[in-house]
Amino acid sequence: MTFCQYCASDERVDNTRFPPRCEVHGDLEAMSEKRVYVSQGWKAVAYHRTRSCRWLKKGQASVAAYGGAPANIVMVSLLVAEGRGLAPCQHCC
């Protein structure tokens, strides 16, 4: 029996790949190569396809309107963004 290297699942494992990966982790390489934009703020909830996303800018403006300093916008891998629990932006992704 083959197990996924990342979660030890034995369900729907593609053992033609090395290391073996389950269906959930099958696109791990692609996710680590794809780049997205995130705010470094502690209230960030989404990642964005572009730095110029209207909703990303709207969130930054909202922070400034309440007297805060908007956090930096940085480029990270999709894998890192999802690892932080961020969801795809409903506007640009």
Least Cα distance to 70 among 89, 86, 50, 51 occurs for 51
Distances (CA, A) of 81 to 18, 33, 78: 24, 12, 5
42 & 63 share domain: yes
Confidence of residue 24 (pLDDT cuts 50, 70, 90): low
Locate tokens 């963004």: which residue?
Answer: 81
Instruction: Say if 70 falls within a structural domain.
Output: yes
How far, in Å, CA of 65 to CA of 68, rounded? 7
Domain span at 15: 1-33
More confident residue, 15 or 54: 54
Residues 6 or more apart from 88 whose CB is under 8 A from it? 46, 47
**What pTM was computed for the model?**
0.67
Please compute the mean of the pLDDT values over residues 31-41 and round it to a whole number: 83
Percent of the chain with pLDDT over 90: 45
41 and 81 in a single domain? The answer is yes
pLDDT at 7 over 90: no
How many structural domains are present in the chain?
Answer: 2
